[in-house]
């Protein structure tokens, strides 16, 4: 389980943000977790309470997770599709070159303050 450092990183950056913007208390943090980001939402969630317990401005912050599915875009015809096996080609034209255009990242989507 490697989620703890990632969760701590999110919580610390939100703490800094709250400090800079004079926000006493952050109520909700919404995090987008990409399917291909290697972070498991269940473990992310289980790290949340211990992580916010060490914070200044997120002691009562609830966590909401959006799971972002993988999406690929064909480099030949531009079709967007959900990638299957890594050796599978584009479902439209069969071309084997494509880029992952979403589902790779973790990002803080929004926060709710008092």
**Locus of tokens 């989507």:** 109
Q: Do residues 11 and 52 lie in contact, with contact meaning Cβ atoms separated by under 8 Å? A: yes
Listed ranges 5-13, 28-36, 43-51, 69-77: which one lies at the site for Zn ion (CB under 5 A): 69-77
Residue 10, interface with Zn ion (CB under 5 A)? no
**Locus of tokens 């992952």:** 100
Candidate residues 16, 40, 77, 113; the one interacting with Zn ion per rule CB under 5 A: 77
C-beta closer to Zn ion: residue 42 or 95:
95
Candidate residues 48, 90, 103, 106; the one interacting with Zn ion per rule CB under 5 A: 90
d(CA 90, CA 100): 12
**Strand positions, DSSP E, the chain:** 26-34, 62-68, 71-74, 80-81, 98-102, 106-113
* Minimal distance, residue 56 CB to Zn ion, in Å: 50
The site for Zn ion (CB under 5 A) is made up of 74, 76-77, 79, 90, 92-93, 95
């Amino acid at each position: 389980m490697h989620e703890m450092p990632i969760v701590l990183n999110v919580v610390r950056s939100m703490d800094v943000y709250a400090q800079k913007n004079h926000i006493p208390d952050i109520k909700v943090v919404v995090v987008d977790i990409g399917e291909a980001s290697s972070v498991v939402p269940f473990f992310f969630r289980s790290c949340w309470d211990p992580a916010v317990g060490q914070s200044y401005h997120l002691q009562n912050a609830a966590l909401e997770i959006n799971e972002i599915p993988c999406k690929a875009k064909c480099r030949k015809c531009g079709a967007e599709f959900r990638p299957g096996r890594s050796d599978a080609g584009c479902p439209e034209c069969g071309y084997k070159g494509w880029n992952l255009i979403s589902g790779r990242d973790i990002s803080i989507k929004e926060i709710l303050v008092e």
